[in-house]
A and B are shown apart, each in its own frame.
Chain A
Amino acid sequence: MKQPFDAAAALPGPTPSDQILLDFLQQQVLDGLWWQDMQTPAHEWVNERFWHTLGYTADEAPATWRATLHPDDQQKIRLHEEACLRDPACTYDHTARYLHHNGSVVWLRCQGLLLRDATGAPTRLIGTLRNVTPEKQAGAYAQEVATHYGLILSNQSVYIIKTDVQGNYTYVNDFFYERFGRDNAIIGTSSLLSIYEDDRPKCLAVVMQCFAEPEVPHQVILRKPYLDNTIKSNHWEFKGIRNAQGEVVEILCVGYDITLLVENLEKSQHLLDVTSQQNIRLQNFAYIISHNIRSHSANLTSLVQLLAEAEDQEQQEMFLQMLQTSTGKLAETIVNLSDIVAVNSNVSKPKETRQLKAEIDKTLEALSVLIHQHRITLDVQVSPEVVVTVVPAYLDSILLNLISNAVKYRSPDRPTVIRLRTYSEPGFTVLEVQDNGLGIDLVKNQAKLFGMYKTFHDNEDARGVGLFITKNQIEAMQGSITVESEVGAGSTFKVSFYENA
């Protein structure tokens, strides 16, 4: 049984009277108080404080406090009161809206004490009121804020996920489901395994940082397979969340799709690479030009001086002869250079379709004297249907260069066989020119093979421009050329012609 609290007994000394206590509660603690007679409900008493709370003076006050109840809440209050009258176990307690004298809404919580007579019939209801408007408004504001941010988040393409310390999903937002096509079954599965394999170590490293440095965002870009099996790049911010004890208990991850950004970055990088390569090529080209012209001009300078200092007629004639040869070589060099400049500067020469077989036959016809003279066997396995899109003049030059090289660098030890065949690769038509000639030591010469003025055999005719021009022409048509070769066995040149799909 509960011991009745007797303040006078517990605290010796002066004790406030009941009236003083009641006044204190009425005036200082509560925002209103009323009594109602349950036998004659019209009999009610409302304190001044209540009217003050609703902005009324005692003179302006309506006949009953019920008149100030918000119309939408009257029904609710009535039902609650009826329930309490019927059932003694019911606690009279409700929060409802009241209308302030100025028309605004005031939220009041009313806790009532229902007195009953000996038969259990209700006699009096005492209502105590407290103004809870600020709490209600704060709640409403919080709700509004939550809805506001909820709306923002649900309208953004942002992934929000949480994982436990083992890295298993504990929460993922709708957008994540939508994008990665997984249903609720994802909860409890490993987030790490859902990441593109190569990126897993990177992901783990960032998770480790979250433990080392919690509550601070750690950023990472990870790739993940999308619903349609494409790989998407996402930028993530991971944060280790601590519990009250300061231990990291979960990882919060917020991410968004940056696939387009990454792709564009890769495109720019590719463009940069191409430009850098072109730049290097141009710079090398400038040095090559300078080298080749200088080597002849140096001879001319020296020869002129030697001629001036010549001791006799015989020497003079010899120097003149050498001068003549040198000027001839210089003229030839300049012709070669202008060929190369033409290829390098004319990237957008019009392309036309050509039957490859017909072009090969034309080249072989042009080389027929050489081919016949050296008893060369040709094995052309190119179907007449094969069509390539090329700058026609370049194709002529490429075929002539490759086939005449195969003739020129034939082996003296065996009958020469030159094989031509074609096949398809995605986006390209490939022509292979295979010979059984001298071959080239690629270990030593790979870097120089397509360079300018590089010759690999002790051949007086070699100009060292053929393959350089060939490569430039092929690249100007967005194609490529590669070679396989073995000294003493022969070479296979592989030309890929770019074909618009």
Chain B
Amino acid sequence: MKTPKLAYVVEDNPITSSITKLIIKKKLHCGRVQTYANGQRAFDQLTAVLQAGTDEVPDLILLDLNMPLMDGWEFLDAFARLPITQKVCVFILTSSIHPDDIEKARRYKQVQGYFSKPLEDDNLARMQELFQTNCG
């Protein structure tokens, strides 16, 4: 079974961020997990990585929607313009159950799944499966 080598957790709440990091390390067997407090920080890091040309591109991104500076949507728009050749699995992980958000997420083709918090076993199982089929 293929497991994520490098995951980004893009989340402004530090506690949520720590919890998510712990859980995906433990349950999804992620190799390394990096946390970013908003979309801008994650995007800056991605840009830097791409410029450096290293093998540091994440294969999994867990993205929150409501964040300061650059929110999840803005990150997705910016992300779509990046010249990434590797497969990156983007999952939305949010507290929002607003139907508008769920509908909007469907329209982003980079988004492989929409998950509402908390990150429990059924959510994790679905993540695992989607990662295998779409990004493995």
Contacts and interface: CB of A to CB of B under 8 A. Distances in A.
Interface of A: 287, 290-292, 294-295, 297-299, 301-303, 306, 322, 325-326, 329, 444, 453-459, 462, 464
B19 A302 contact: yes
Interface of B: 13, 15-16, 18-19, 22-23, 37-38, 66, 68-69, 74, 94-98, 116-120
Contacts of B19: 299, 302-303, 306, 322
Nearest to B100: A287
B117 A295 contact: yes
23 contacts: A287-B97, A291-B95, A291-B98, A292-B95, A294-B95, A295-B95, A295-B117, A298-B16, A298-B116, A298-B117, A298-B118, A298-B119, A302-B19, A302-B23, A302-B118, A302-B120, A303-B15, A444-B74, A453-B66, A454-B68, A458-B38, A458-B69, A462-B68
Contact of B68 (A291, A322, A455): A455
B95 A298 contact: yes
A295 B16 contact: yes
A444 B66 CA distance: 14
Given A290-B95, A294-B97, A462-B68, 18 more contacts: A291-B66, A295-B16, A298-B95, A298-B117, A298-B118, A299-B16, A301-B120, A302-B19, A302-B118, A302-B120, A306-B19, A306-B23, A322-B15, A322-B19, A444-B74, A453-B66, A459-B68, A464-B68
Contact of A326 (B15, B22, B117): B15
Please classify the interface of chain B as helix (H, G, I), strand (E, B), loop, or mixed, using the class held by over half of its residues.
Answer: loop
**Residue among B13, B15, B94, B98 having the largest count of chain A Cβ atoms under 10 Å:** B15
| Nearest 7 A/B pairs, CB to CB | A298-B117, A298-B118, A295-B95, A455-B68, A294-B95, A287-B98, A301-B118
Nearest to B66: A453
B75 to A, nearest CB: 13
A4 B18 CA distance: 132
Nearest to A287: B98
Contact of B97 (A290, A297, A306, A453): A290
